């Protein structure tokens, strides 16, 4: 398997950071109880991206 380029890794880390930040902001909202599934989705997406494109 080919190693991803550093640019691609950075791009995916930036996307993962965005998902994590979205989850945090939604969690801070007053209506977080209604948004738990969306918060969980963004957390899952963030973790998946971090793990899929980590640098060795």
pLDDT tens per residue, the chain (56 residues)? 577 788 888 998 999 999 999 999 999 999 999 999 999 999 999 999 988 865 54
Amino acid 4: pLDDT = 72
What is the distance of C-alpha 9 from the center of its chain?
13
pLDDT at residue 22 in the model: 97
Q: How far apart are CA 32 and CA 16, in angstroms?
A: 21
Q: Quote the distance between the C-alpha of residue 6 and its chain's center.
A: 18
């Amino acid at each position: 398997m080919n190693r991803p380029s550093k640019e691609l890794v950075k791009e995916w880390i930036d996307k993962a950071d965005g998902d994590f930040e979205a989850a945090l902001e939604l969690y801070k909202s007053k209506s977080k109880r209604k948004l738990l599934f969306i918060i969980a989705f963004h957390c899952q997406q963030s973790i998946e991206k971090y793990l899929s494109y980590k640098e060795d």
